[in-house]
Amino acid sequence: MLLFLFAVLVAYCLGSVCSAVLVSRVFSLPDPKTHGSKNPGATNVLRIAGQPYALLVLLADILKGLIPVLLVSWLGAGPATLGFTCLAAVLGHIFPVFFGFKGGKGVATAIGGFLGLQFSLGAMVIVTWLAVAYFSRYSSLASIVAVVFAPFYAVLVVKNLYTFVPLLLLAGIVLYKHKDNIIRLMDGNESKMDLKWKVDSK
């Protein structure tokens, strides 16, 4: 129980470090919380500042999920604790205690957690994201599909049902955070990305 509480607390606090805001402040960029889509994530940083800064944010967000899961795995945590550690990191990203509980949508941090749980799980989620993004050109749709499939991929590759529940909760929360994107997708008003990962102007 102590390891579980330690894992969840560390993961949540690390997830609460808002990479997009920190990168923007360090490089004197527009605040992603008040510019573009107003979502402090890599896609919005790409929109308002360009690819190099977006890649920095993406890498940092992935590490926020990867590091705590690897740490508690090294400490001998079981599958359930690892799953909830991943969930806690994503919750920290979405509801960061250091930034007024207003964060991003958690996809990159979730992918980092999946890679920590098992590399093949993370790889399957990344391939799913890339495939959907390539054929649809919708980053949001790719994120939704990839994260929703993750709990079912975990059953196949982790082969432990104890990871299914926290990853299903994670998928539900990320899906909820994309509710506006889902509405825009249904209305045909969602922004697309080109193959060079630049957001269309419309």
CB 110 within 8 A of CB 150: yes
| Nearest by Cα to 39 from 174, 150, 164, 147 | 174
pLDDT of residue 194: 62
Q: How many CB atoms lie within 10 A of CB 180?
A: 12
Convert the pLDDT of each residue in 60-111 to its tens digit.
999 999 999 999 999 999 999 999 999 999 999 999 998 888 888 999 999 9
Write down the pTM of the prediction.
0.90
| DSSP conformation class of 36 | T
pLDDT of residue 39: 81
pLDDT of residue 201: 35
pLDDT of residue 197: 46
- Phi, psi torsion values for 199, nearest 5 degrees: -80, 135
pLDDT of residue 146: 97
Tokens 């805001």 sit at which residue? Answer: 21
Segments in the chain below pLDDT 70: 194-202
Which residues make beta-bridge pairs with 193?
Answer: 199
Q: How far apart are CA 153 and CA 29, in angstroms?
A: 38
pLDDT of residue 202: 35
pLDDT of residue 196: 52
pLDDT of residue 33: 86
Q: How far apart are CA 48 and CA 168, in angstroms?
A: 32
Domain boundaries along the sequence of the chain = 2-117+161-177
Q: How far apart are CA 97 and CA 22, in angstroms?
A: 14
CB 4 within 8 A of CB 81: yes
Q: How far apart are CA 126 and CA 122, in angstroms?
A: 6
pLDDT of residue 99: 85
Q: What burial class does residue 101 get, using C-beta atoms within 10 Å of its C-beta: 0-12 exposed, 13-18 middle, 19+ buried?
A: exposed
